[in-house]
Each structure stands twice: as C-alpha cells, then as structure tokens.
Amino acid sequence: MPTSQQDGGGERLFHGGAGDGDGDGAAVAAAARQVWVPGPVIVGAGPSGLATAACLKARGVPSLVLDKDATVAASWRERTYERLRLHLPRGFCELPLAPPFPPGTPPYPTRDQFVAYLDAYARAFAVEPRLGSRVRAASYDAAIGFWRVAAVDEAGGGGAGGETEFLSRWLVVATGENAVAAWPAEGVGAYRGDVMHTSSYKRGDEFAGKKVLVVGCGNSGMEVSLDLCNNGAATSMVVRDKIHVLPREILGISTFGLSVFLLKWFPIKWVDALLLIFSRLILGNIEKYGLRRPKIGPLQIKCSTGKTPVLDIGALKKIKNGEIKVVPAIHCFTEDGVEFVNGCREDFDAVIFATGYKSNVPSWLKEEEFFSESDGFPRKAFPHSWRGKNGLYATGFTKRGLQGTSYDAAMIAADIARRWTKSLAGPTAAADADHHETYIAN
C-alpha cells in the first residue's frame, strides 16, 4: 500500500488525526492505526452493502466495505434456516446492474441459491470487503470534515485483535434492519428447557418428537412452525395480536407481483380489498383458527409500519388440520413451560422466539439527527431514508426488502459519484483510486 504523505489531503488528515477531533471523535481516537479511505466506507457486506459498492464501482468510485463476519452475506449464510426460500419471486430480489439469476433457478430461489447469487455478484463487481472487521464506533469529525470509523479486527482479520480507524468523507450504513435478534424484555424467568431465536434455527430434525413453542407469528414464526411440524415436532405457535396472512400466489401469479402491478393502476385501499377477497376465497376464514385480521389492509400496514404480511407457504394448512396449534400470548414462564394469558399452563421441551429483529445502529453510530436513537432506523421514511448530512448515507432501511435496497444503492451511488467527481478536481485528487486503503499513520 502506498503512503499518502505526498498527498495534500493526507497531510491535512495526518495533522488532524487522533485526539484532534471533537468529543465524539475522541470515542474512536484510541485506534492503533489510521487508514484514509479515498472513497466511501460501507459498513455491512450484505445485499445492501454489496449493491451500493457495485453501483459506486460502476460509476468509477472505489469504496471500502467492512463486515464483522467472515463472509459476505453472513445474515443469509449464517442466520437463516436450511429450507428457507425467498418469499418474493426472484425477479424482485435481483440486485442492480447484475444479470438475472442463472437459468434453472426456481421462481422462489432457495437460501443457498440466493447466497450463491450474492457471492457471484460480489465477484462480478470485484467487491472485496474487509471481513472480520466489526465497526465499534463511528462519528463525524466536523473539524476535518471526515467520518472516523473504528473497526475491531475479529479473530482471523487483518490486524488480529487490533483496531483500525478508517477516515472517509462518506459513510454508508448497510448493517440492515435485521442486525440483532429481538427478544421479549421479560426474558424466560425460571424456564429450564431449550431456548433459541429463529436466527439460530437451522433445521427441525433435532426437535423430532419434542414439544416446541414458537413465540411469534410473522413469516419466521409461520415458516419455522411449518418446518418443525414437517420434522415431527409437536408445535404450538403464540399469536398475540391481529395478523394478515396472504397466499404466496393468487391464480398462479405471485401475490407480491400482482400487488405491484395493481398498485400502478389503483389506490392501495382497492388493491388491499382485492387481496383480501382473493385470500378469503383461497384460504377461507382464518379467524376461525385464531388468526384475527387487522382492520387496515396488508399493504397499507406494510407501507405505514413496515410490518410484513405473512405469505403462506403451507403453515396455514397445518393450522387448519391442527398439526400447528395456535395459542394465546404468554403470561409468564414456568420451570417447564409457560402460563398463557387465559390461565392455561403447558409444558414445552423447547421455546423458539420468532420475535423479529432490531437495527444495531445506535450501538455504534454516534449520530442522532438522521438515525433515530430509539429504533436505529433513519427518521425519514422511504423514499427519503437514504441520505443524511455530512456524507452520511443509509441503505437497506426502507422496510421494502431487496427492492428498497436496489433503490437506495442507485441513489447513493449517483449522489456520491457527483461529489467524488467534484473532489477529484480539488486538492485531495491525488489519491490512488485503485487502492482501497491509503495508510497515513501506523
């Protein structure tokens, strides 16, 4: 790696380095070494980070992608169950500028096919993230106009246990809506059985013959319940509130694709009404089985709150025939099981929390104007959630799945590329754009 002492920008940075920033900057100033990154730093090598890096590259802007895990797309590779398939058709899950899924890919690709697609995507755009690099803190140093990003090298990473401070004009947050498992605050009290979150659930065979309680009935709760049932576990699923369940397909067309088409022509309320009529015809009256529908339609809820309707891939049939038992909210845990709010007690060998996920942004980003401290999402909703101030960007926080990711990536890349071109004309132009990292201090 070349040093940048000959570069005016690097010189300024070197002098404005560790300990010279504002209070927040001090949080990351203890770094063992500093690295000046000519383009943006992107935190997260999932679909959102990869897509943004690819779109930047296509515009001639280099970037440095950091990920805490040892591979790209670790959320998909490590934190999903084996039989998972995309629940939107593959055409809605493709990333920008890439060829479609390879011939022979089924309409709803498997987890492994999607992971292979993401690996190929990273290769095609030569995106080579710095893996095993967990961002511990990031803050904007107004004195020098740069983001200070402190990353700890996890075992096996470049600096093995050390810490590096990256300095960049642009910071792209791509750590995702599903960064950490959400657990109920009450915990499990004295319960002695096995406890896990769906993000650790891999396959159902280890639960064969066991009584399992799945807490939560979003897409994870429904699909894990189905998988457990298919593997011979006696499965109960907690449904504490109203939910929308839609068939994954209507008249052979994906419900999602049909919705996208209809929304081009009709207001969302009409489309919701139509979806509910079809759902009633295809699924019957699901309220009989303890699945009460909200008054507001599924797409309206998705748009206003981000809560995804369940796209049924077979759990409903098991609920109807009693193989999956719907149970009410939990009042408290006992040593061997739970007491439900209706006063009934039941023992379970294992409890699987399908209680969703949270953003982890507040744990590392020292910024509260653009990102909300309470939920770790940008305060502005789609389509305005991608750009903050001072070169801060967010990708993959639209609550619109991979289509939202593609939108963000294109917007961010276009915006940064404009600024990049301008900065090339300025004093920092001497950066060697072919190199991700230019060392300014060790």
Ligand X SMILES: O=C(O)C(=O)Cc1c[nH]c2ccccc12
Ligand Y SMILES: Cc1cc2nc3c(=O)[nH]c(=O)nc-3n(C[C@H](O)[C@H](O)[C@H](O)COP(=O)(O)OP(=O)(O)OC[C@H]3O[C@@H](n4cnc5c(N)ncnc54)[C@H](O)[C@@H]3O)c2cc1C
Q: Which residues bind ligand X (CB under 6 A)?
A: 87-88, 256, 302, 308-309, 311, 400-401
Least distance to ligand Y from the beta carbon of 374, Å?
Answer: 18
Residues of span 81-100 touching ligand Y by CB under 6 A: 84, 86-88, 93
Looking at the Cβ atoms of 77 and 293, the one nearer to ligand Y is 77
Please tell me what DSSP assigns to residue 1. -
> Could you give phi then psi for residue 244, rounded to 5 degrees?
-100, 125
Sequence-ordered alpha helix ranges (H) in 47-173: 47-58, 74-78, 111-124
- Number of residues interacting with ligand Y: please give it, by CB under 6 A: 33
What is d(CA 212, CA 227) in angstroms, rounded to the nearest whole number? 12
Is residue 118 involved in binding ligand Y (CB under 6 A)?
A: no
226 touches ligand Y (CB under 6 A): no
Q: How far is the CB of 66 from ligand NDP (least distance, A)?
A: 24
Select from 36, 33, 68, 25 the least CA-distant residue to 49: 68
| Cβ–Cβ < 8 Å for 351, 212 | yes
- 383: cis peptide before it, omega within 30°? yes
425's tokens: 């004309």
User: CA 309 → CA 8, 138, 172, 296, 405, distances in Å?
Assistant: 53, 34, 29, 12, 19
Contacts of 120 (CB under 8 A, 6+ apart): none
Q: Taking the alpha carbons of 197, 200, 203, 205 in that order, is the dihedral positive or negative?
A: negative
Residue 354, binding choice from ligand Y, ligand X, ligand NDP, none, Cβ under 5 to 8 Å by partner class: ligand NDP
Q: How far is the CB of 90 from ligand X (least distance, A)?
A: 13
The footprint of ligand NDP on residues 349-378 (CB under 6 A) is 354-357
* Residue 241 binds: one of ligand NDP, ligand X, ligand Y, none (C-beta under 5 to 8 A by kind): ligand NDP
Q: Please report whether residue 134 would count as binding ligand Y according to CB under 6 A.
A: yes
- Binding partner of residue 309 among ligand Y, ligand NDP, ligand X, none, CB under 5 to 8 Å per kind? ligand X
Structure tokens, 20? 């010279």
Considering Cα of 347, then 348, then 349, then 355, what sign does the dihedral take? negative
Give the residue with the Cβ less far from ligand X, 305 or 421. 305
CA gap 181, 68 in Å, rounded: 16
Q: Does 68 bind ligand Y (CB under 6 A)?
A: yes
220 counts as binding ligand NDP under rule CB under 6 A? yes
**Among 12, 240, 320, 379, which residue interacts with ligand NDP (rule: CB under 6 A)?**
240
Question: Is residue 179 involved in binding ligand Y (CB under 6 A)?
Answer: yes
Q: What are phi and psi of 41, to 5 degrees?
A: -95, 130
Is residue 246 within 8 A of residue 87, CB to CB? The reply is no
Nearer to ligand NDP, 13 or 238 (CB): 238
**Interacting partner of 109 out of ligand NDP, ligand X, ligand Y, none (Cβ under 5 to 8 A depending on kind):** none
Interacting residues with ligand Y (CB under 6 A): 43-49, 66-69, 74-76, 80, 84, 86-88, 93, 134-135, 174-176, 178-179, 360, 364, 396, 401-402, 405
Interface ranges with ligand NDP (CB under 6 A): 84-87, 184, 198, 215-221, 223, 238, 240-241, 308, 329, 354-357
